[in-house]
Amino acid sequence: MSLPKLFIERISHMLNDESDAFFATYEKPRYHGLRINPLKITPERLAQIAPFQLKPVPFCHTGFYYKLEDEPGKHPYHQAGLYYIQEPSAMAVADCLDAKPGERILDLCAAPGGKTTQIAGSMKNQGFLMANEINAKRAKALSENIERCGITNALVTNEKPERLANRFAGYFDKILVDAPCSGEGMFRKDPEAIEYWSLDHVKHCASMQKEILDHAYHMLKPGGILVYSTCTFSAEENEQSIDHFLDHYPDLELLPIQKKGGMTDGNPDWSISHRKDLIKTARLWPHHVQGEGHFIAKCKKAHTSTQSENNSQTFTQTAKKCDLKDFYSFEKESLTTSVPGTLFFMKNHLFSIPKDFPDFSGLRIVRTGLHIGEQKKQRFEPNHALALGLDPSNFKQKLNLSSTDKEWASYLRGETLPSNLNKGWTIVTIDNYPIGWGKVANGTLKNFYPKGLRRH
Ligand SMILES: C[S@@+](CC[C@H](N)C(=O)[O-])C[C@H]1O[C@@H](n2cnc3c(N)ncnc32)[C@H](O)[C@@H]1O
């Protein structure tokens, strides 16, 4: 692999006698990982049913290494949201945030959703998770991953951090800033990142990170936790970004990060001020961990911060009973449960959100809570998100496909399937895990797998 000369010089200067070990990693194949989705399955159960070998990632209790040739991304369990394919070192970040059910959490730079989906797994669909992405195309990918993973308490926004900061001052218990960076840790995974790399790019990213952190600070409530991460090695974007942040906001303190499975301390000498507490930050170097590389810092805003907590904005809209007639018929015929949460319409689409969701009017919204379905003329049609967002036991009629029988591939291509089940909405499952809707009539299951997700 041909690396930029200046990058080699800079790393050699930082790592001294460790640099040979670092550069030797570029001659080896990279590691591949998946993280199980606790909203749908346990690690033990996936290990039992998956036709691929899994080896635990030491710094993430839901993470596993897999072999490239096993291609779990092509297995229908991926479509069922049982796991998320993720670069292993990236799995260390969200656990540092220690998300809990019921909290208000912001993932400010969220697409494509590796860390959002991990945070959501810890929140158990309770509380409020805002997943923001500035780039519209990437926000769509984020939204699809949130749907596939069965996350029902998220608001996906496509906003600039400053717009959110004006609106949500002092609002969040926890914030993740997984910042845009020069991606030096991506060189093996994405060789295009090498072409992009320059010292100017490193400096540009560092200045962007300072700005994003500034907006994030304002959205954190007193006593709140902020985790900052990058997938790059440069001191400017890591120790120096955090040094500047702490210097600017004296009511922030660094919290220690447990260094597991080869994670090492951040280096105060790589900062401008050389402040000693930067040792609490974490580095994941590819010659120390089986992964590509990350930096993580965890900060806490003092309870005594002058900024006040903001609880003001709650979403108050609810659907009128008379407008829910067709939905209730669908619910009674097709589900064994009532859809939880507050129901409301946006145009003719019905959604459910957990209580205490904030008012999101005026924001650029990509997904809201659980998209239940659409009110059509005199009938209700369920959305794909409902198939992925409920427990398998919540559906009355099921057409189960086996992962060892290629009929599932026909379903994912959008083809009809023969079925002698009762007329009506039917959940299609793979080894009993929902993957989408079908509707049975006259011995055939009409396919409702979304056109945009079909595989040909
Ligand atoms: C490292 S990636 C996020 C990866 C994501 N957290 C995950 O785990 O899948 C950084 C993201 O920040 C976004 N971004 C770029 N410029 C930004 C800005 N000025 N403010 C906020 N986000 C920005 C990028 O579009 C990109 O999706």
Instruction: Tell me the pLDDT tens digit for each residue of 14-52.
Output: 999 999 999 999 999 999 999 999 999 999 999 999 999
- Is 50 within any annotated ligand binding site? no
Asked whether 216 lines ligand 1 (CB < 6 A), one says no
Q: What is the pLDDT of residue 189?
A: 85
Asked whether 95 lines ligand 1 (CB < 6 A), one says no
Q: How far is the CA of 164 from the centre of ligand 1 (A)?
A: 15
Asked whether 110 lines ligand 1 (CB < 6 A), one says yes
Q: Looking only at Cα atoms, what is the longest distance across the chain?
A: 74
- Tell me the CATH number for domain 397-456: 2.30.130.60
Instruction: List the chain domain ranges.
Output: 397-456
Asked whether 94 lines ligand 1 (CB < 6 A), one says no
Hey, whose CA ends up nearest to atom 18 of ligand 1? 134
Ligand 1 atom closest to the Cα of residue 179 is 10
Q: How far is the CA of 322 from the centre of ligand 1 (A)?
A: 42
Asked whether 36 lines ligand 1 (CB < 6 A), one says no
Q: How far apart are the first and last CA of the chain?
A: 34
Q: Ligand 1 test: best mutation among 34, 89, 109, 296, most atoms within 8 Å of CB?
A: 109
Q: How far is the CA of 317 from the centre of ligand 1 (A)?
A: 31
pLDDT in tens, the chain (456 residues): 789 999 999 999 999 999 999 999 999 999 999 999 999 999 999 999 999 999 999 999 999 999 999 999 999 999 999 999 999 999 999 999 999 999 999 999 999 999 999 999 999 999 999 999 999 999 999 999 999 999 999 999 999 999 999 999 999 999 999 999 999 999 988 888 899 899 999 999 999 999 999 999 999 999 999 999 999 999 999 999 999 999 999 999 999 999 999 999 999 999 999 999 999 999 999 999 999 999 999 999 999 867 677 766 788 889 999 999 999 999 999 999 999 999 999 999 999 999 889 999 999 999 999 999 999 999 999 999 999 999 999 999 999 999 999 899 999 999 999 999 999 999 999 999 999 999 999 999 999 999 999 988
**Catalytic residue ranges:** 231
- Is 179 within any annotated ligand binding site? no
